[in-house]
Structure 1
Amino acid sequence: MTARGAPATKRTVLITGGAGFIGSNLADRLAAEGHRVIVYDALTRPGVEANLAWLQERHKERIEAVIGDIRDGERLGASVAEADAVFHLAAQVAVTTSLVSPMEDFTVNLGGTLNLLEALRRRGGAVPLLFASTNKVYGNLPDLPLSATNDAYVPEDRALRERGIGEDRPLDFHTPYGCSKGSADQYVLDYARSYGIPTVVMRMSCVYGPRQMGTEDQGWVAHFLISALEGRPISIYGDGRQVRDILHVSDAVAAYLAAWDRIEAVAGQAFNLGGGPANAVSLRQVLAQIEAVAGRPLDLRFSDWRAGDQRYYVSDTRKIAAALGLPPALSWREGIADLAAWLSQARGLNGSAGDLVLLGAAE
C-alpha cells in the first residue's frame, strides 16, 4: 500500500466495472475507508455476481449497485451526476474476443468511454477520472532485440533490461482491442487538454490477485493456478518464454488511490503501471513456481502464437513511483502465494496452496 491514499473527506465514488476483479478490490478498499461506492457493472463476466455479493455483505449501505451497460449513456449519466470521482475499469478485455467481434469491442471500449467523458463534461465541476488502459497501446514491440534463454526472452539492450519500457515509447495500436483501448486512452488524455477534466491514464501490465476469474484470454496467472490445482491441462500459446511484469492487485489499487489523492499534480498524464523489472517473469517461470505448489507435473499443451501477443513487455515504473510516492511492489512469488491461498479457500480447490505460501514467504 502507498503512504498516501484517497482523500480523507468521505466522497461518493463511481467505479465502472466495479464488480470485476480490480474493480471489486478497489471498491472494497474505498468502502473500508468510509466512502460511498457506486458499483456500475453490466454483470456480463461469469462470476462477478459473487464479487458484488461479497462487497454488499462486507460493506452494506456503503455499496450501491447499478446494473447497467456503459453504452447506456442515460443510465451512466445518472450515476456520474452523483460522483465526486470516477474510476473507469469497465471494458471488453480480451484480444481474442476483439478479433471475433470487433464492433462489440469498439462500442464498449471506445463508445462507452466517450459516453463517460461526455457525462463528465456535461456535469462540470472538474470530477476526476482515472482510466484503466493497457500496455497493448505500444503494439507488439517487434523492434526489441531479444535473446532466448532456457526459460525467458531477455532484451539485448542493458538499459531496457534494467528499466523497462517507458511512457515515451511511440504508440502503435495492434488488433481491434489495441485500437479501441488505445483510442480511448487518447480521448481520456485529450479531455484533460480540451475540457479541463482532471484525468489520469494507467497503462497496465498484467495484474493478478484475489477475486480474479482467470481464463485463457484474460487473467492468465489465476487461470494457470486454477488449472494446476484442479489438475486440468494448461494451454500455452507460443513457446512460454514471453515475459511480463506482473503486479499484485493490492499494489494496483494503491496506485489508483494515490493518483486520486494527487490528482491536481498528475492530471492529464499517462503512466505505465506494472510490477517493473523486479517482477518481470516468463510464463515458464510462473509455471515452475505453480508446479511446486501443485506438487505434481503440470500438463502443458503448446499452440501457435496468438495475434497481438508481445514476446516481451516490462513497465518502466520510475515515473509513476516518483509522481505518486509508491513503495516497491510486492514480489511476484509472495503475490502468487497470496492468490493460491485465496483460491484454495474461496473455491475449494485441491492442491498444496499452503506450500506456496511458505515458498513465497521464504523468498
Structure 2
Amino acid sequence: MTGKGDHILITGGAGFVGSNLADALLREGERVIVADNFSRDGVRRNAAWLQANHGDRVRVEQVDVCDTARITPLVRQSKQVFHLAAQVAVTTSLDDPRTDLQTNVIGTFNVLEAARGMKTPPPVLFTSTNKVYGGMEDVAVDLADEAYRYTDGRPGVSEEARLDFHSPYGCSKGAADQYVHDYARIYGLPTVVFRMSCIYGTRQFGTEDQGWVAHFGRALYGREPITIYGDGFQVRDILWIDDLVDAMRRAMDRIDTVAGQVFNVGGGAPNAVTVRGVIDRLRDVTGRSVPVHTADWRPGDQRIYVSDTAKIQRVLDWKPRTSWKAGLEKLVDWLREADLESPVLARGAASVREPLAEAVGAD
C-alpha cells in the first residue's frame, strides 16, 4: 500500500535517527520530506548537512506533529511515513508531562488519522522504546563478573513481555505504541512498531539524558567528567545506527507481510555491554581518560535490558552487522571529523536534545 505522493515523510527527520535514515534514502534516489519542529539546537546542524549533501531532493519543513493542519497534508503527499518525532527524555517528561503527552500521543494520533483518511493510506513505521516494558522488577537478575545477567539465562526480552509503563514518558510512548498497533488491527492501516533499545552513532549529540554512548565519547574528547547513575554494571544491547536504518528499510520493503507487527530492535546478546565497558572501550580508542563519578540509581532503572531479536531476525532476515567494539571506533572517527573534541564545542553540544531517550541508567 502506498499513498498518492512520491515522497517519503520522516517526522523528526532532522534528529539523530531521522537524519541518518533520510541520508540513506536520499542516496538511493528517493525524495524525502524532513518534518521537524526544530526545538532542539542540534537538529538544525543535521538539516543543513542533509541539504548540503542532497540539494532539492530533500524538502525540509518546520512542522510540529501536534499541528494537525500542517502535518496532515504532508502525510497525504507521502508514499511512506517514518514517524520518529517525539518528546524523548524521561527527565523532561517528569518536569512537563502535559507537553510530553501532547507530543507523543496527540502527535502520533494526528499522523495516524491523516493516513486513515486516505483512500490508499501509506505505511507508517513508528519508533517506540523498551521503556514500555517498565522496570521489569518481576524478572530475576543477578550480578556476576561485574555485569548484570538474567538469572534464568534468557537471551533477552521478547515482544511477549508484559507491558508496564513507567514515568510520563513511558506512558506516552506506550500509549502511542498501542495506538499504532491497534490502527492496523481495527482500521487495517499498514503500520509497524519498532521497540528500540540503545541506538548510537553518527550525528548523535547525546547528553546524560539522551544518547549516553555519544555523550560519553564527547565527554572524553572534551576532557569533561562522566557521571554514572548506579554502579555502572547495568547492561544494554547497543545498536549502531546503520543497522537500525537497515532494519527500518527492510520493514517498509516488506510491509505487505509485516503490517500490524511489533518488533524489539537492539544489538541483542552479542552487543550487550555494561556502561563501564563502553567507557573502557572509548578510553582505549581515544587514548584519553576523564574522572568517572557515580550517583544514585535513577527510579525504574533496569539492571539489564537486552533485546531478544529472534523475531526480527526471522521475519525480516535482519541482524546487526556492526559489533559494539567496532561501532565505538566508528563513533570516535565521526567525533574527530565533526571536531567535537573541542572542550567548548563539547560543552555546547551537551545541551542538544536529540530524538532518542537512552539515559544512562534509564533506558
TM-score (ref. length: structure 2): 0.91
Structure 2 vs 1, CA of residues 327 and 139 (structure 1 numbering), >3 Å: closer, same or farther? closer
Deviates more, 1:81-90 or 1:304-313: 304-313
Aligned to 1:156: 151
Structure 2: state its 5+ residue gaps.
Answer: 344-363
Aligned to 2:335: 343
Whether 1:240 and 2:209 are equivalent positions in the alignment is no
Residue 204 of structure 1, aligned match among 196, 212, 219: 196
Superposition RMSD in Å: 1.5
Instruction: Report the Cα distance in structure 1 between the residues aligned to 2:264 and 2:319, rounded to whole angstroms.
Output: 15
Contact 2:239–2:320, Cα closer than 8 Å, also in 1: no
Aligned to 1:221: 213
Please list the CA deviations of residues 151-171 of structure 1 after superposition, one character each: whole Å capped at 9, or x if unmatched.
31112112x1xx211001011
Aligned partner letter, 1:134: T
Aligned to 2:90: 95
Shift of 1:326: 1.0
Contact 2:263–2:312, Cα closer than 8 Å, also in 1: yes
Paired residues, number: 340
Aligned partner letter, 1:275: G
Structure 2 vs 1, CA of residues 199 and 327 (structure 1 numbering), >3 Å: closer, same or farther? same
Shift of 1:348: 4.3
Q: Which has the higher contact order (CA 8 A, sep 6+)?
A: 2
Aligned partner letter, 1:304: D
Aligned to 1:81: 76
Instruction: Report the Cα distance in structure 2 between the residues aligned to 1:315 and 1:124, rounded to whole angstroms.
Output: 36
Q: Describe how 1:180-191 pairs up with structure 2 within 5 A.
A: 180-191=172-183
Please list the CA deviations of residues 232-270 of structure 1 after superposition, one character each: whole Å capped at 9, or x if unmatched.
011111111111100000000000000000001000010
Structure 1: state its 5+ residue gaps.
Answer: 1-6, 352-363
Aligned to 2:22: 27
Structure 2 vs 1, CA of residues 142 and 346 (structure 1 numbering), >3 Å: closer, same or farther? same
Shift of 1:307: 2.1
Shift of 1:136: 0.5
Whether 1:114 and 2:106 are equivalent positions in the alignment is no
What secondary structure, in the 3-state scheme, does the structure 2 residue paired with 1:347 have? coil
Structure 2 vs 1, CA of residues 36 and 299 (structure 1 numbering), >3 Å: closer, same or farther? same
TM-score (ref. length: structure 1): 0.91
Residue 253 of structure 1, aligned match among 245, 248, 251: 245
Aligned partner letter, 1:26: L
Structure 2 vs 1, CA of residues 305 and 348 (structure 1 numbering), >3 Å: closer, same or farther? closer
Contact 2:100–2:169, Cα closer than 8 Å, also in 1: yes
Aligned to 1:147: 142
Contact 1:145–1:155, Cα closer than 8 Å, also in 2: yes
Aligned to 1:59: 54
Aligned partner letter, 2:189: I
Shift of 1:293: 2.5
Contact 1:165–1:314, Cα closer than 8 Å, also in 2: yes
Contact 1:245–1:279, Cα closer than 8 Å, also in 2: yes
What secondary structure, in the 3-state scheme, does the structure 1 residue paired with 2:205 have? coil
Aligned to 2:163: 171
Aligned partner letter, 1:307: P
